[in-house]
Structure 1
Amino acid sequence: MSAPVTDPAASAPARADTDGAAGPEGLSPDGAARPAAGPGPARPRRAGWWRRHRLAVVVVVAFLLLAVLAWALSARTSTRPLAPDNPAPDGARAAAQLLSDQGVRVQEATTLAEVGALAGTDSTVLITDPSLLRDDQRTALLSTGADLVVVGATFSNLDAFDGDVTPGGAGSAEPVTARCADPDAAAAGEISFSRGSVSADPGSDAVVCFPVGDDGAGAYAVWERGEQTVRYLADARLLSNAHLAEDGNAALTLRALGHHPDLVWYLPSPLDLGTSVDEPVPALPVRLQLVLAALAAAAVLLALAQGRALGPVVTEVMPVVVRAAETTRGRGRLYRRSRAHGHAAAALRAGTAARLARALGLAHSADADTLLDALTRATGHPAELLRALLYGPPPTDDAGLLALTAALDTLESEVHRS
C-alpha cells in the first residue's frame, strides 16, 4: 500500500491516531486507552471552560435569582403590622384564622383597584392603616358599597367616611366596659385597653362605646351611612396576635369583621396612587414591578458600562508562525481526545473526494453520482463498493477509522496510478 494521504486537513485524524506523541486521552489503534500524560496548565483550561459556558452559567444564575425573588414575594408570612399572614406579636394572623374558621373568606388587598375587584355590598372592608390614605381614596372606599371597619386613625380625621365623629388622644390602660347599645360591643363586654379614642360630634347619630373619659369619648364607634355600616376602633392593637385573647378583644374583633361572608383585608400602601376602585387590577404586584424596574435599570447600566469598555476592534499581527504539521497534529489530538470518529471520518472522506475529483478532471462542485461514475470507469470497482467507502456510515472506534484511512489511501493511489 502506498504512503498515507498527505493533505493535512484530511489526514489529521489518521496521523494523530498513529502518532506516538498523541494527546493524553487518546486511543490506541486496538481501541485500548493510552496512559494519560501529565495535565496541562490548569488556568488556560479553566479560562476556556468559562468562555464556552459563561452564557449558560449566567442564564442559570439569573433563573435562580428570579426563583428566589418569586419565592420571597410569594412567601406566606409577612412582617407588616396587622397583616393577616403575620404570625409575629404585632401581626393579625390569629384573627384572620379565627374568621376563616367561622366561614368568613379573608382576602388581602394592597391597592384600591384590588379592593374594588374584591369588595361589594355583601362584604366587609377592613382598613388597617388609614393614615396612608388621602381623602379621595377614603371616599372611593365608600363607593364599593361594602361595610367598612377602620382601625387606628388617632392622628387623622374621619370626615371622608361621613361619620360626624372626631378621633382623639384620650385612652385607658385599664380594661374598659362597653356601656352602649351596640350588640357587638355588648357581646364583647369589655376590652383590655385603648390608646386613642373617638367622640361623636353634636347632632351625630354615631354610637360610641367603651368610654375612656367624661367627655363622651370612647374606644369604639358605629354609624350608618345609607345601607352601609362604618365601624371605627381607636386602638388597632386589639386585633393583634399579642392581645387578641385578652378580655373581650377577640369577641369584638370577630363580630365587627364577621358580619358578611367576605372580608377584604386592606393594607394600604404609600406606593398606591390610585383614586378609584374601578381601575383595573395590575397584572403584577406593585412590589414586583418595582423590583423588575430596578433589575432592568441595572442591566441597562451594565450594558452601557461594558459597551464603553470594549472600544473599537483592533487587528493584531500573529506573534508566531505555526507550521502546518503542528496544526495537523493538534487537530488530530483534538479529534482523538473527544473520540470524534465520525467527524474525523467525514474530514478524511471529504479530502479524498476532492483530490479524486481533481485527478479525474471533474469540477469541484461535482455531485456524488458523477464522481462515482468516473471512479467506476477509472478503477473498475463496483459503484456500491465505492459509495460505501466514500459515503457510508461513519466508524465507531479507532480500528474502524484506521481501516477506512487505509482503504481511502489505496483508492487514491489506484486513481493516480491510472
Structure 2
Amino acid sequence: MTTILEDSTPGTDNAAAEGLPAGQRFRAWFRKHLVWIALGTLLAGLVTFLAINSVSGATDSRRLSARNPAPDGAMAAAEILARHGVSVTPTDTFEDTMDALSAKDEATVLLFDAQGFLDRSQLEEITAAADRVVVVAPRLRTLNGLNQGIRPGGVVPEATQVIEPGCEQEDARAAGRVSAQGSILSGPLVCYPTREDGPGLYAASADGRVIVLGSRELMDNQHLALEGNAALALRTLGNNADLVWYIPGVGDISASNSNPTLNELAPRWLAFAGPWLGLVALLAIAWRGRRMGPLVFEPLPVVVKAVETAEGRARLYQDSRAVGRAANNLRAGTLSRLARHFNLGADTTAEAIVDATARHAEQSIQEVRFVLIDFMPESEGQLVQWAQQIERIEQEATAR
C-alpha cells in the first residue's frame, strides 16, 4: 500500500498527485475544489430558476387569457388567430383597452368580465369604440349594461353532447355543430338553441355588432378542438384585422360605482310619513305600556288529591309496560319510609336500612336484602307479588 504524506508546499502536492492513477487524481482534485464546485452549482441553479421565472412571467394564469397555456386559458385560439394575420392585443385595464381601440379604425373586442367589474357607462364606451364586441360568459350585470336585448335563458342540459347551429347566421352555419356546457341566452338573433325556437349558446344584437357566447368552453384550450368550437371562435373573433383581448380586473371598478344608501333607496314620501309614524308608535307605547298594577295571586281552581296522582301515574306505567320504572319507584319509596321510621337520617345507606329492617322484622339479612334491593321483577305478575312482599316486610318491621 502506497502512503502519501502531505506537505505544506504546493510543489510537493502536485508531484505526489502526478504519481497517482487518473481516478485517484480526479478524486483528489474534486475534494480540493469541492467548495468552488458547490458555489458554482448553486449559482447555476439560481440562474436557471430566474430564467424559468422570466419565461413563465409572460404567461397569465387567469381563465380565458390569451397568455394562459393551461386548460382553462385561451392561448391556443390567440395563437391561431395571430398565425392567420389577426393582430391580438391583450389588455388588462379599461384605459389600455380604450387606448388600443383609439389607435385602430376597426377592431374587435373580446370581453371576458367574469366578475362583472364594468358598469353600464364603461360597456357603452367599449361598444361605441369597437366595430364588434364579443362577450364571453357574462354575468347578469354585464348583460344589463350592454342594453342589447340579450337576456339569460338557463343552462345547457348535462345530457346534451353536441348542439346544431339552428340559425342562418353565416359564422354559425360554417362552424357547424359545437360541444360545450354553459349558459344559454335569448336575444334578437339566437344560434345553437337547446330546443327548437329556444335560447341558445350564441346570441347577437339586431345589428350584429354585439355577440354574446354563453360558454367559455367554446374557445378555451381544453375544448377548442371539440366539434366546431374552434371554427366558431375563430370566425367570431377574426372578422377584423385587429383584436383587443380584454379581461377586466378590480382596478376597473368605477369610483362612482358604490352601493346606494338607505336614504337613496327610500321613497320620497317616507321623509314626511316617517316622523308621523314615529309619533304614532310613541303614543301606542305610552297607551299600551302604562302600569297595570301588581300581580294578583289566585288559588288553583282544582285541588288534586295525592292518591289520584299516584293512581294516574300508575296507570301510565301500566300502559307503557314500564315494569322497571315502577319497581324502582316502589323500592325507593319503601326504603325512604323505613329510614324515616328508624330515624337513620337522610344520608343513610341501603345496607343500614336492610340491617335495621331485618333486626326489627326478625328475619335474616339475606332474605330482606334480596327482597328490598337485589330482586328486580321482569313482568307485571312478578311486580305485583314483589310489591306484596315488600309491603309485608315493611309492615312487620314497623309494627314492632
- Higher CA-based Rg: 2
Q: TM-score, normalised by structure 2?
A: 0.47
Q: TM-score, normalised by structure 1?
A: 0.45
Higher normalized contact order (CA 8 Å, seq sep 6+, divided by chain length) = 1
